[in-house]
Amino acid sequence: MEIKSATFVISSSNYKQCPDTGLPEYAFIGRSNVGKSSLINMLTRNKGLAKTSVRPGKTQLINHFIINGKWYIVDLPGYGYARTSKTSRGLWQKMTADYFLNREQLVNTFVLIDSRIPPQRIDLEFLSFLGVNGVPLSIVFTKIDKQNQRETMKNINAFKQAMKEEWEQLPELFLTSSVTGYGRDRLLDYINEINNSINK
Ligand code: GTP
Ligand code: MG
């Protein structure tokens, strides 16, 4: 799929403020600093579209971007940032949980996992939350440019193993690098397929 246009639409602090056009949307979620905003910029080939930072906790709201005038990418704040207060963690949980539980236009959630590290409990728990609530999801391993392929595969296989303890069937898995662009075509094709299946 070609991306002809990608435009910021709105930042919302509540799912009720999100666009009510009914167009399908794809959410990007994962631990703080995992590379959600960078991946969105890589997919849209627009480095300044979603705000990124070397420090975790950059994205604070639900951000909608419209793609080709037909579907949305949604950038969300990350979870698991140790230095946020309990209050703001609570607010994050409410904002994102409400979004995932109520957003009818949400057709797929990409859960981003850092390919540099072994399986983390917080990621597995978040996946369970989505799974239990029937939110459709895929997994995207990020930052594969940071280490050799052997290390990446070791972490991915360990993650799959950990998931198998709870999940009967594994979701679709993607490997990406926002630096090299690896994984871009496959991810966009996947989104395209879902969009086409909706329009039938
Ligand atoms: P929050 O909004 O704080 O939750 O973070 P985020 O998940 O949106 O992460 P962001 O895209 O801001 O990236 C965090 C840091 O990781 C930045 O310094 C990025 O340059 C870096 N980064 C993201 N993706 C990649 C990647 O694929 N490869 C490399 N080498 N660095 C990456
Ligand atoms: Mg971000």
End-to-end CA distance of the chain: 17
Q: What share of the chain is helix, strand, coil (3-state, %, to 5)?
A: 40, 20, 40
Which of 76, 29, 70 lies closest to 51 in space, CA to CA? 76
* Chain segment 63-115, per-residue pLDDT in tens: 999 999 999 999 998 888 766 677 777 777 888 999 999 999 999 999 999 99
The residue whose CA is least distant from atom 29 of ligand 1 is: 143
From the CA of 52, the nearest ligand is 1
* Cβ(38) – ligand 1 distance below 6 Å: yes
Q: What is the pTM of this model?
A: 0.96
Ligand 1 pocket, residue 178 CB under 6 Å: yes
Q: Identify the nearest ligand to the CA of 147 by its number.
A: 1
And the tokens for 87?
């209050």
Is the pLDDT at 180 greater than 80, yes or no? yes
- Residues 24-63: tens digit of each pLDDT: 999 999 999 999 999 999 999 999 999 888 887 777 899 9
**CA gap 75, 40 in Å, rounded:** 8
Nearest residue by C-alpha to atom 15 in ligand 1: 54
Count of alpha carbons within 13 angstroms of residue 96, beta-carbon side: 25
State whether the beta carbon of 103 lies less than 6 angstroms from ligand 1: no
Cβ 60 vs Cβ 53: under 8 Å = no
Task: Specify whether the CB–CB gap between 103 and 17 falls below 8 A.
Answer: no
